[in-house]
C-alpha cells in the first residue's frame, strides 16, 4: 500500500442515529475506493464494519470500527461509530482522533434523538461537520422536511451544497449547487453522468448557489471583498471559503446520498478529499507533559492509543493515531504513563477485521498493532527524545448502575476477571466493589449498555450472572443528646473480662464546641473536658471523641479501645447497618478491675454503650441527595416535571438552553433507579440529564419506617 503523506490523509467519523445508514455509507465508500469489490449489507450480516458476532446478533454497530479507503490520490480513514446513545463512549473516542464528522440523517425520519446526541458530541469535540442526508431512495423520504428539522436543531449554519431530484423510490439525480451541475445515476450504481441543470431546477439551484456563495464569503475578509466586487465567487474561491467556515464550525455542508445504491457517494468523497481538513489543519491534541511536537513526519515519533480490543485467534489489538514522526515496524517507544518500553513488532492499516501489514505510517494516520505488553487506551507511546504525553479522552460520566452477582458463588472470581477485561475495551463501564453495600457495582450508560455486557457473559464467557438493584448508601445519625452506661463482665475460670463505660452522645455540627453540662430529666451531669479528638470518617462526616474522665475511673490506656468499639458500631449503624456520622461522644465515667480489665473488655463496653445511647438519641436515617439537571424538549416538559415530583424531587429552577428546556432539582438517589430508561421513554430519547452528589438529608418518616422493617426482616432471615 502507498505511504500517504500527512496532507494526503483525511480522518473522518461517521456519527448519527442508529438506523441512519452509517455502516451502509461506510461500505459504499470502501466500494467506491476499490478497497472491496462487492458491497455487503447490514441485513445480510456481511459488512466490513459490523463483523463481530454481537453486532451481527443485534443488527447494528456496537463498537467503533476503523476502516480506510483511497480516493482522488488521498487516503480516507473512517471510524464507523454506533448510533445508540448508550454506546457514546465509542463516539467520544472517535472524535478525539478525527478532524471531520459526517452526521448521517435518515431522510424518512429526519432529525432523531441520536442525531441531536451526535451533534452535541461533535460540538463538545469542536469538530467540523457535514450532514449527509441518506436513504433518499426510500419510500416516504422527505428531504425538505428533514432539512427544515436540521436547520431548526443546528441553526442556519446548515448549508445546502446538494439537493435531490425526485427523492423516493425513483431517486437517481442530485443537483450540486457548488459545481452547478446535475449528477445523474444509473441503476448499476456506477459513475454518474454529469449534466447541465435542467430548466425546471435552474431557479432553485441559482438561489441556493447564491446562498452558498454568501456563506463561503463570510469566512474571510478578502473573499468578502471579492464577492462585493464581482457579485459572485469562483469554484476555487468558494472551496476556500467553505473550508474556512467548516474549520470554524460556522458552516455545515449538506450532501445527499442513497448509499445502498451508491448514489452520491463518489461526489461526497471527492468533496472530503478536496476541502475537508487534513490532520495537521486541526489543532493538535493538548500536550500535558514532555517536549512540544508538531504533526509532522520529521518530528520524533509518538502515537496516542484511543482504543484497545480483544479478538479470538488474534489477541489484544491496539488502535492508535500517529501524532508525530514516522512509525515503522520494529520501532521501540516508551509508554509515558508506565515508563516501560514497547516494541511495535507489526504495523497495520485496518478495514474492519481485514488488516494489511504496512512498513510505515506517518503523522496524522490511523493504524493498529498487536501484542503490546501493557499499553491500554488513553496512553501515549513516544520516542525517548520527545517523552511526550497527550491529553486523555474524557469519557462521559455513568448514568445507570446495576449490582452484578454470579448465579453460582464459585464464579465470583471469574466475573471480576471478565469485568476487568471488558472495561479496557469499553472504558464507559466503571467497575466498583462497594465494601459498604457488599455489592459489585457496574456503572454504565443505560440498560442497553448493560444488556450488551450480559450478552458477553452469556455468549462469550458462558457465565450466568444476575443484575440486581443497587443498595443505597444510607447514613445514620442522631438528633438529640442521650446517655448510656454499659458494664461488660465475663468470668469463665482464670482471668475474666471487666469494663464499664459511661457515655453521653450528641449530634455534631461543624464548628460547634463540646458542652460542659447536660441535663437528662431532673439529673444534671457536669463534664470536665480533658481532651478532644476529631476523626474525619472515610464515608463522610465526623466522629468527635471527648475524654471527660476525672479521678482515674478509667485508665487512659483503655480509651483507644473504647474509641475502637465506638468506631466499629459507627461502621455498622444500630438502625440499618449503614455507616453513622456526625456524632460527638463524651466518655465521662466508668469502672475498672485491677485484674480482669483489658482492652477487649473496654472495646465491647464502649461499643454497647454507644449502641444503647444511639437508639435513645432521636436516631435518623440519612439518604444521599443529588443535584439533577435535565434537558427536555418543551413539549415534554410537563411529563418530565410530573415524573420528577413522583420521585420526591425538589424543583430548584427552570430555564432554556440550546433549544431545550432545562430543569434543575434535588432528588434522592433511591428514586433515580433506571431514570435513564424512564427519561428516554418520556422524551422519545431526546431528554438528557446529569447528576452530581450534593449531600445527605433525613429521609421522611414513612421511608424510615419502611427501611427499618426491611432491615429487621433481613436480620431475621440471616
pLDDT in tens, 192-218: 999 999 999 999 999 999 999 999 999
| Mean pLDDT of the region 506-515 | 95
- Nearest Cα to Cα of residue 197 among 230, 174, 220: 174
The answer to whether residues 255 and 103 touch, using CB atoms and an 8 Å cutoff, is no
Q: Is the pLDDT of residue 575 over 80?
A: yes
What is the phi/psi pair of residue 324, to 5°?
A: -160, 160
Q: Is the pLDDT of residue 319 over 70?
A: yes
- Measured CA to CA, the distance from residue 595 to residue 65 in angstroms comes to 74
- Nearest Cα to Cα of residue 42 among 32, 131, 425, 28: 28
The answer to whether residues 534 and 514 touch, using CB atoms and an 8 Å cutoff, is no
CATH numeric code, 300-390: 2.40.30.10
- Measured CA to CA, the distance from residue 150 to residue 171 in angstroms comes to 21
Q: Rounded to the nearest 5 degrees, what angle is found at the Cα of 26, between the Cα atoms of 23 and 28? A: 110
Q: Is the pLDDT of residue 188 over 80?
A: no
Share of the chain above pLDDT 70, in %: 99
CA dihedral 358, 363, 369, 375 (to 10 degrees): 160
| Mean pLDDT of the region 475-499 | 91
| Mean pLDDT of the region 77-88 | 96
Instruction: Tell me which of 3.20.110.20, 3.30.70.3420, 3.40.50.1970, 3.30.70.870 is the CATH number of domain 400-468.
Output: 3.30.70.870
- What are the DSSP calls for 112-132, one per residue? -HHHHHHHHHHHHHT--EEEE
Provide the edge-to-edge strand list for the sheet that holds 482-490.
482-490, 497-507, 583-591, 542-547, 531-536
How many alpha carbons fall within 13 Å on the CB side of residue 349?
Answer: 22
pLDDT at 179: 96
Give the relative orientation of helices 113-125 and 143-154 as an angle to the nearest 10 degrees.
40
Chain segment 254-309, per-residue pLDDT in tens: 999 999 999 999 999 999 999 999 999 998 999 999 989 999 999 999 999 999 99
Q: Tell me the three state secondary structure of residue 672.
A: helix
CATH numeric code, 476-618: 3.30.230.10
SS3 content of the chain, % helix, strand, coil (to 5): 30, 30, 35
Provide CATH 3.40.50.300 ranges for the chain. Answer: 6-281
- Measured CA to CA, the distance from residue 94 to residue 122 in angstroms comes to 10
- Nearest Cα to Cα of residue 405 among 447, 433, 427, 429: 433
Q: Is the pLDDT of residue 493 over 70?
A: no
pLDDT at 461: 94
Q: Is the pLDDT of residue 624 over 90?
A: yes
Chain segment 363-406, per-residue pLDDT in tens: 999 999 999 999 999 999 999 998 999 999 999 999 999 999 99
Give the CATH architecture of domain 621-703: 2-Layer Sandwich (3.30)
Provide CATH 2.40.30.10 ranges for the chain. Answer: 300-390
Q: Tell me the three state secondary structure of residue 63.
A: coil
Q: Is the pLDDT of residue 190 over 80?
A: no
Sequence-distant contacts of 431-436: CB under 8 A, at least 24 apart: 434/471, 434/473, 436/473, 436/539, 436/578, 436/579
For β-strands 482-490 and 620-632, DSSP reports them as unpaired
Question: Per-residue b/e over 533-545, b at no fewer than 16 CB within 10 Å?
Answer: eeeebeebbbbbb
- Measured CA to CA, the distance from residue 598 to residue 497 in angstroms comes to 7
Q: Which helix (H) or strand (E) holds 267?
A: helix 265-275
Average pLDDT taken over every residue of the chain? 94
Q: Tell me the three state secondary structure of residue 554.
A: coil
The three cell numbers of residue 657 are: 438552553
Residue tagged 479507503 (cell numbers): 69
Q: Rounded to the nearest 5 degrees, what angle is found at the Cα of 145, between the Cα atoms of 142 and 148? A: 145
Give bridge partners of residue 163 from the DSSP assignment. 175
pLDDT at 255: 98
- Measured CA to CA, the distance from residue 108 to residue 139 in angstroms comes to 8
Chain segment 117-135, per-residue pLDDT in tens: 999 999 999 999 999 999 9
- Measured CA to CA, the distance from residue 25 to residue 79 in angstroms comes to 12
The sign of the CA dihedral 505, 508, 513, 519 is negative
What is the phi/psi pair of residue 382, to 5°?
A: -140, 150
| Mean pLDDT of the region 100-115 | 96
Question: How many angstroms separate the first and last alpha carbons of the chain?
Answer: 67
Tell me the fold of 6-281: Rossmann fold (3.40.50)
Provide the edge-to-edge strand list for the sheet that holds 354-357.
341-344, 331-335, 380-382, 302-311, 315-324, 366-370, 348-351, 354-357
The three cell numbers of residue 273 are: 478529499
The three cell numbers of residue 454 are: 450480559
Cα separations (Å) of 602 from 158, 268, 484, 545, 562? 75, 80, 14, 15, 5
Q: Is the pLDDT of residue 350 over 70?
A: yes
Share of the chain above pLDDT 90, in %: 89
How many alpha carbons fall within 13 Å on the CB side of residue 245?
Answer: 26
- Measured CA to CA, the distance from residue 701 to residue 263 in angstroms comes to 65
Chain segment 19-41, per-residue pLDDT in tens: 999 999 999 999 999 999 999 99
| Mean pLDDT of the region 238-260 | 96
Provide CATH 3.30.230.10 ranges for the chain. Answer: 476-618
Non-local CB neighbours of 562 within 8 Å, separated by 6+ positions: 501, 554, 587, 602, 603, 605, 606
With 0-12 CB in 10 A as exposed, 13-18 as middle and 19+ as buried, what is 170? exposed
Task: For residue 479, name the pLDDT band (cuts at 50, 70, 90).
Answer: very high
- What are the DSSP calls for 17-55, one per residue? STTSSHHHHHHHHHHHTTS-SS---TTTT--SS--SHHH
Give the relative orientation of helices 675-683 and 637-645 as an angle to the nearest 10 degrees.
150
The three cell numbers of residue 138 are: 426510500
The answer to whether residues 588 and 525 touch, using CB atoms and an 8 Å cutoff, is yes
The three cell numbers of residue 336 are: 509515558
Amino acid at each position: 500500500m502507498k505511504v500517504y503523506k500527512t496532507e494526503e490523509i483525511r480522518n473522518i467519523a461517521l456519527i448519527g442515529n442508529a438506523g441512519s445508514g452509517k455502516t451502509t455509507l461506510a461500505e459504499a465508500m470502501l466500494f467506491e475506493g476499490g478497497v472491496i469489490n462487492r458491497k455487503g449489507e447490514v441485513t445480510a450480516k456481511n459488512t466490513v464494519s459490523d463483523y463481530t458476532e454481537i453486532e451481527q446478533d443485534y443488527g447494528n454497530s456496537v463498537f467503533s470500527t476503523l476502516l480506510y479507503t483511497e480516493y482522488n490520490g488521498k487516503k480516507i480513514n473512517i471510524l464507523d461509530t454506533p448510533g445508540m446513545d448508550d454506546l457514546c463512549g465509542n463516539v467520544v473516542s472517535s472524535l478525539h482522533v478525527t478532524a471531520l464528522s459526517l452526521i448521517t440523517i435518515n431522510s424518512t425520519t429526519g432529525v432523531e434523538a441520536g442525531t441531536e446526541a451526535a451533534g452535541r458530541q461533535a460540538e463538545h469535540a469542536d469538530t467540523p461537520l457535514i450532514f449527509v442526508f441518506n436513504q433518499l431512495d426510500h419510500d416516504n423520504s422527505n428531504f425538505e422536511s428533514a432539512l427544515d428539522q436540521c436547520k431548526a436543531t443546528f441553526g442556519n449554519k446548515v448549508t445546502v451544497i446538494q439537493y435531490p431530484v425526485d427523492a423516493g423510490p425513483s431517486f437517481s439525480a442530485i443537483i450540486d449547487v457548488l459545481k452547478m451541475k446535475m449528477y445523474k445515476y444509473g441503476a448499476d450504481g456506477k459513475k454518474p453522468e454529469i449534466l447541465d441543470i435542467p430548466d425546471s431546477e435552474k431557479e432553485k439551484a441559482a438561489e441556493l448557489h447564491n446562498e452558498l456563495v454568501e456563506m463561503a464569503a463570510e469566512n474571510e475578509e478578502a473573499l468578502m471583498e471579492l464577492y462585493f466586487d464581482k457579485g459572485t465567487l469562483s469554484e476555487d474561491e468558494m472551496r476556500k471559503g467553505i473550508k474556512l467556515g467548516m474549520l470554524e464550525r460556522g458552516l455545515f455542508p449538506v450532501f445527499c446520498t442513497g448509499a445502498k445504491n451508491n448514489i452520491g457517494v463518489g461526489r461526497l468523497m471527492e468533496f472530503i478529499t478536496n476541502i475537508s481538513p487534513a490532520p495537521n489543519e486541526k489543532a493538535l491534541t493538548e500536550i500535558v507533559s514532555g517536549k512540544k511536537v508538531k504533526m509532522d513526519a520529521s518530528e520524533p515519533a509518538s502515537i496516542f492509543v484511543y482504543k484497545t480490543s480483544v479478538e479470538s485467534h488474534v489477541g489484544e489489538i491496539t488502535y492508535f493515531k500517529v501524532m508525530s514522526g514516522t512509525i515503522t515496524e520494529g520501532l521501540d517507544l516508551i509508554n509515558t504513563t508506565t515508563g516501560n518500553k514497547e516494541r511495535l513488532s507489526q504495523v497495520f492499516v485496518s478495514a474492519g477485521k481485514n488488516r494489511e501489514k504496512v512498513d510505515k505510517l506517518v503523522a496524522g494516520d490511523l493504524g493498529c498493532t498487536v501484542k503490546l505488553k501493557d499499553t491500554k487506551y488513553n496512553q501515549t507511546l513516544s520516542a525517548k527524545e520527545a517523552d511526550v504525553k497527550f491529553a486523555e479522552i474524557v469519557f462521559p460520566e455513568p448514568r445507570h448502575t446495576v449490582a452484578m452477582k454470579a448465579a453460582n458463588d464459585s464464579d465470583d472470581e471469574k466475573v471480576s476477571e471478565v469485568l476487568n477485561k471488558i472495561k479496557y475495551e469499553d472504558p464507559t463501564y466503571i467497575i466498583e466493589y462497594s465494601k459498604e453495600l457488599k455489592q459489585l457495582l457496574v456503572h454504565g450508560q443505560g440498560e442497553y449498555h448493560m444488556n450488551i455486557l450480559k450478552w458477553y457473559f452469556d455468549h462469550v464467557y458462558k457465565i450466568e450472572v444476575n443484575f440486581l438493584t443497587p443498595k443505597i448508601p444510607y447514613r445514620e445519625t442522631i438528633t438529640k443528646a442521650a446517655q448510656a452506661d454499659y458494664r461488660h463482665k465475663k468470668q469463665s475460670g482464670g482471668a475474666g473480662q471487666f469494663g464499664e463505660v459511661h457515655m453521653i452522645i450528641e449530634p455534631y455540627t461543624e464548628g460547634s464546641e463540646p458542652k460542659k453540662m447536660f441535663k437528662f430529666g431532673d439529673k444534671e451531669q457536669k463534664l470536665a473536658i480533658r481532651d478532644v479528638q476529631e476523626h474525619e470518617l472515610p464515608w463522610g462526616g465526623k466522629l468527635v471523641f471527648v475524654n471527660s474522665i476525672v479521678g482515674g475511673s478509667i485508665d487512659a490506656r483503655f480509651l483507644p479501645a473504647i474509641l475502637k468499639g465506638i468506631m466499629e458500631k459507627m461502621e455498622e449503624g444500630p438502625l440499618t447497618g449503614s455507616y453513622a456520622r456526625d456524632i460527638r461522644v463524651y466518655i465521662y465515667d466508668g469502672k475498672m478491675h485491677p485484674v480482669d480489665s483489658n482492652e477487649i473488655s473496654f472495646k465491647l463496653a464502649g461499643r454497647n454503650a454507644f449502641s444503647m445511647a444511639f437508639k435513645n438519641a432521636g436516631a435518623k436515617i440519612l439518604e444521599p441527595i443529588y443535584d439533577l439537571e435535565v434537558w427536555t424538549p418543551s413539549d415534554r416538559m410537563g411529563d418530565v416535571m410530573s415524573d420528577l415530583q413522583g420521585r420526591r424531587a425538589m424543583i430548584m429552577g427552570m430555564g432554556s438552553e440550546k433549544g431545550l428546556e432545562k430543569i434543575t432539582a434535588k432528588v434522592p438517589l433511591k428514586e433515580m433507579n433506571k431514570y435513564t430508561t424512564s427519561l428516554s421513554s418520556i422524551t422519545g430519547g431526546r431528554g438528557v440529564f446529569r447528576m452530581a452528589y450534593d449531600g445527605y438529608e433525613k429521609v421522611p418518616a414513612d421511608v424510615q419506617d419502611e427501611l427499618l422493617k426491611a432491615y429487621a426482616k433481613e436480620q431475621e432471615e440471616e
